[in-house]
Every structure is written in structure tokens, then in C-alpha cells.
Amino acid sequence: MSLSHIVLGLLDEPASGYDIKNKFNRSLVHFWGAELAQIYPTLKKLTAQGLLDYREVPSAKGPARKIYRRTARGDSALLEWLCDPPSTGATRIPYLAQTYFLNHLDDPARTLEFFNGLKQLIAEKLQHLQQANSDWASHYPEFPESLSDEDFYKQMTLENGLAVWTARQAWCDMCRHRIIKRYGLKT
């Protein structure tokens, strides 16, 4: 039940469910995604558990915002989670599942198309990550040494995305070359 913990962590400054969703989109989405339909019930549950509270604030545009904050008990719960040993979690990668059975396709050109499409997907992911990282770099003069303690760890998760997706890119190219060589294809 890690979404609760992440929401807890995100509430360093008071924020609404909508704000939290934006934080996910901006800086967590490369290792954890969440929809509003999941965030709102989570905020409700954490409030019921006494780990959050909120006040309502009228919005400039649209309905009233519920601004949530961590309570003292919320702070402890967050600390406790951070003391848990690291876990790698379950992996489920659809494109590798398909790759595993690709021999059934029995059509090298089509198989290569699969990897060409994948190459494209990977390039897009990498572009987002590189954009985010250079935004960061342009904000700090002696990047990454001059990062604040807070940003130091957040930037590490970005670095992880960059490392992993770069490895996937190299792997995907290797697959393409092996297929081209094995079946004597062009481009």
C-alpha cells in the first residue's frame, strides 16, 4: 500500500488532491503513476486514520479546494515507511512478454517492426527524462553538487530513469541488429 505513503510524503506543503495529481505527472510518473480516482479515496482514508487533516479554501476558478496537511501522526508514519528496507516490487513488462513469444509470428519483417515501434516508445520516454534533467541542471550552477538535500534525492530518481531507459535503448538496438543479421533484412 505504497500510494498512501507517497501521498503522505508529497504533503510536505499543504496541497489538494488535484495538486497532488500534478506532482505525480511532473516528477513521479516515471516510477509511480496515480489517477485522481485513486488519489481522492486515499486522501479520505489517510484523513480517517488521523494521518492527514484538511481545510476548505475557495478556489479562484472552480469548486472549493480541500487543502490537506500531514498531522504529527502522519509525520511518524512517513518516517516509519522510510525506515523499511528497500523493495524492488513486482515487475510486469508487457513488451517483454510479447518478445518472449515472438517466434510464433514467424515473420521477421513484422518482428522487426515490433522493435522499431519499441525503439520509438523508448526514445520518447528518454526525451522526457532528459528534458526534466536539463531543466534541473539549468536551475543549479554546480549540478548536481549544489542541489538542496530535498532535491538531491528527488534528482536521483530521475537519474535512475535515465540509466534504466538508456540501457533499454541499447538493448532494443541490439535486438534490432540481431534480427537484421539473423534474417538478412534491410533497415
Partner DNA sequence: TTAGGCATGTAAGGTGTTACATGATTGC
Partner DNA sequence: GCAATCATGTAACACCTTACATGCCTAA
CA-to-CA distance for 70 and 52, rounded, in angstroms?
A: 4
Q: Is 13 in the site for a copy of itself (CB under 8 A)?
A: no
- On whether the CB atoms of residues 98 and 114 are closer than 8 A, the answer is yes
Q: Is 105 in the site for a copy of itself (CB under 8 A)?
A: yes
Query: Which 122-181 positions form the footprint of a copy of itself (CB under 8 A)?
Result: 122, 125, 144-145, 149-150, 152-154, 156-157, 159-160, 163-164, 166-168, 170-171, 174-175, 178
Sign of CA dihedral 99, 97, 24, 171: negative
How far is CA 85 from its chain centroid? 20
CA-to-CA distance for 18 and 43, rounded, in angstroms?
A: 11
How far is CA 125 from its chain centroid? 11
Q: Which stretch binds a copy of itself (CB under 8 A): 13-21, 42-50, 92-100, 132-140?
A: 92-100
Which residues are near a copy of itself by CB under 8 A? 2, 5-6, 9, 28, 30-33, 78-79, 81-105, 110, 114-115, 117-118, 121-122, 125, 144-145, 149-150, 152-154, 156-157, 159-160, 163-164, 166-168, 170-171, 174-175, 178, 182
